[in-house]
Amino acid sequence: MRAGRDVAAVTDVSFRLMPGECLALIGESGCGKSVLASALLGLLPANARTTGHAHLGDLDLLAADERTLARTVRGRRIGLVPQSPAAHLTPVRTVRAQLRETVRELTGARGRALDEAVEATAERAAFPAGHLDRHPHQLSGGLAQRAATALALAGDAPLLLADEPTTGLDRDLVDRTADELRRHADAGHALLMITHDLAAARRVADRVAVMYAGRIVEIAPAADFFGATGPRHPYARGLLDALPERAFTPVPGMPPELDALPDGCAFAARCARATEECAALPEFTGGVACHHEEPPGA
Ligand SMILES: Nc1ncnc2c1ncn2[C@@H]1O[C@H](COP(=O)(O)OP(=O)(O)OP(=O)(O)O)[C@@H](O)[C@H]1O
Ligand code: NI
């Protein structure tokens, strides 16, 4: 996309997400997580191209026109907690006014009942009632985050895309937010949670998808991924080993530039298990794309 050069920001991604289920999408900065979310919402820049299908019920999101997306999808069928919430909140209106509108539209509540529903929604996202009358520019990053989460929860869309919903929050608030998102999924909503925070992913997710250089390289049940089996892709193993409570050793090297990806496995250059075989792109089969997957529990 940069000055006439094509960038494959997301390639060959395929997954299913059911009502009541949470899929956590993890991976290093720049690997394509937010681009994937933007693609589903039709929010990519005008010069971006998408191919394939993304079915939401009977609608193909990638084929839908802007009018359909704007009128019936964004906010209604798909809620978004954006990665930069401050940029998405309406700047001239207080958080209370924005929440009131959403809650009123959805529930038809009026007067006292509406006031109470707004405060309850704020509470769900750990947004303090005392700050409801602030405008977005008067909020810290963490508060803007929680305001955006409250709005997304209030919208009650069957699919929620939460892009880094816990950045800038301290551990207690991360846990509270994660638990609330889990409850939201348990109430029958599908949740795609994009996060750097593996502890939050573990707390919320039923399944984990690991993205590397624009591709999903592993999808696994969270209980296996974080449990005795462990990740199967060496990159995923590396992400877990980078955690302070584990080996605390970062994955060596840097991810490749997306406009200069190798033909084979994009992780091979950083991978201790790589062989000549890795010059060929590994197929994604049985939940992992790797020629030399890690043995369980290694
Ligand atoms: N508008 C754009 N123009 C050109 N390249 C873009 C554009 N938007 C995204 N990209 C490319 O897509 C890649 C993926 O970006 P994306 O924002 O999806 O990463 P991410 O995984 O969400 O990272 P982070 O964890 O930092 O949010 C970036 O490395 C960048 O090269
Ligand atoms: Ni992102």
106 Cβ below 6 A of ligand 1: no
Nearest CA to ligand 1 atom 28: 30
With beta carbons less than 8 A apart as the criterion, state whether 141 and 168 touch: yes
Phi-psi region of 195 (alpha: psi -120 to 50; beta: other; left: phi over 0): beta
Give the span between the Cα atoms of 251 and 240, in whole angstroms. Answer: 9
Q: Where are the domains of the chain?
A: 12-229
Task: Grade residue 156 by pLDDT with cuts at 50, 70 and 90.
Answer: very high
CATH number belonging to domain 12-229? 3.40.50.300
What is the CA(229)–ligand 2 centre distance, in A?
Answer: 28
Nearest CA to ligand 1 atom 25: 29
ipTM above 0.90, yes or no: yes
Task: Grade residue 255 by pLDDT with cuts at 50, 70 and 90.
Answer: very high
Give the span between the Cα atoms of 53 and 89, in whole angstroms. Answer: 29
250 contacts: CB under 8 Å, gap ≥ 6 = 238, 242
Confidence (pTM): 0.95
Residue with tokens 């750990």: 126
262 Cβ below 6 A of ligand 1: no
Task: Grade residue 3 by pLDDT with cuts at 50, 70 and 90.
Answer: low
User: pLDDT tens, 96-113?
Assistant: 999 999 999 988 999 999
193 Cβ below 6 A of ligand 1: no
Give the span between the Cα atoms of 1 and 269, in whole angstroms. Answer: 24
pLDDT recorded at residue 161: 98
* Pocket probe mutation, ligand 1, options 5, 6, 31, max atoms within 8 Å of Cβ: 31
| CA distances (Å), origin 259, targets 3, 33, 184, 213, 271 | 12, 16, 38, 10, 20
pLDDT recorded at residue 1: 46
